[in-house]
Chain A
Amino acid sequence: SYELTQPPSVSVSPGQTAKISCSGDNLGDKYACWYQQKPGQSPVLVIHQDSKRPSGIPERFSGSNSGNTATLTISGTQGMDEADYYCQAWDSSTVIFGGGTKLTVL
């Protein structure tokens, strides 16, 4: 079965750039999207179709997807960005989520 692999945790200093990776076989041939989830809240879509930002999502969130890796980039990271982030893709008409990455803003 298809799997998406994320690092369990990423740390970043306020104002710096955070990069969260998501790896899967030929992931670049699929669309990847990203969700942000804060404690006790439902996930929120932050990037879809590899690099598109939904309305209301700050410009500091961006995405890319090539080869075997999709990447979520948060530029000028703020304390409010501390959260769990999940990547998601489709394989054979089923939804696959990555295991999630806890972003800590130190």
Chain B
Amino acid sequence: QVQLQESGPGLVKPSETLSLTCTVSGGSISSYYWSWIRQPPGKGLEWIAYISYSGTTNYHPSLKSRVTISLDTSKNHFSLKLRSVTAADTAVYYCARHRGVLGGYFDYWGQGTLITVSS
């Protein structure tokens, strides 16, 4: 059974960089596509970025200038960096697996990690 586990700092100060890692167990990261998705408190889901097993990436247009997604196959994990955070970046951040693009769907999700941006 594939499992995804997010890890992150919990609290980040405004203007700093948020770093998150998603560790994949029960399956190899060297297949499929991997995404980060966030959900502000009481609001809907917002996709942030994806990375493929071969390193192809794509980003949400509104976040593209501040986000970097990367993959480490040796550690079976992938990561997200979000720069210059503000209170608007406060959200539960999920990592998820999907099968490709243009029709791919998120079949496994992590439990989510709440990130609060505050001084």
A residues apposed to B, CB below 8 Å = 1, 30-31, 33, 35, 42-45, 48-49, 54, 86, 88, 90, 93-100
Q: Which of chain B's residues have a CB closer than 8 A to the CB of A48?
A: 105, 107
Main secondary structure of the interface of B (DSSP, over half): loop
In chain B, positions 101-119 with a C-beta closer than 8 Å to chain A are 101-107, 109-112
Let me know if A94 and B47 touch, CB within 8 A: yes
**Min C-beta distance of B119 to chain A, whole Å:** 27
Let me know if B107 and A45 touch, CB within 8 A: yes
Whether, in the assembled complex, B60 has its beta carbon less than 8 Å from a beta carbon of chain A, the answer is yes
Q: Which of chain B's residues have a CB closer than 8 A to the CB of A88?
A: 45, 105-106
- Please, how many angstroms separate the alpha-carbon atoms of A65 and B110 in the complex? 28
Whether, in the assembled complex, B58 has its beta carbon less than 8 Å from a beta carbon of chain A, the answer is yes
Q: Looking at chain B, what size class is its interface with the partner chain?
A: 20 to 34
Let me know if B105 and A42 touch, CB within 8 A: no
Q: Which of chain B's residues have a CB closer than 8 A to the CB of A45?
A: 105-107
Among B44, B103, B104, B105, max chain A CB count under 10 A is at: B105
Let me know if B104 and A43 touch, CB within 8 A: no
**Min C-beta distance of B51 to chain A, whole Å:** 13
Let me know if B45 and A42 touch, CB within 8 A: no
User: A54 is contacted by which of B44, B46, B107, B111 (Cβ under 8 Å)?
Assistant: B107
Let me know if B106 and A35 touch, CB within 8 A: yes
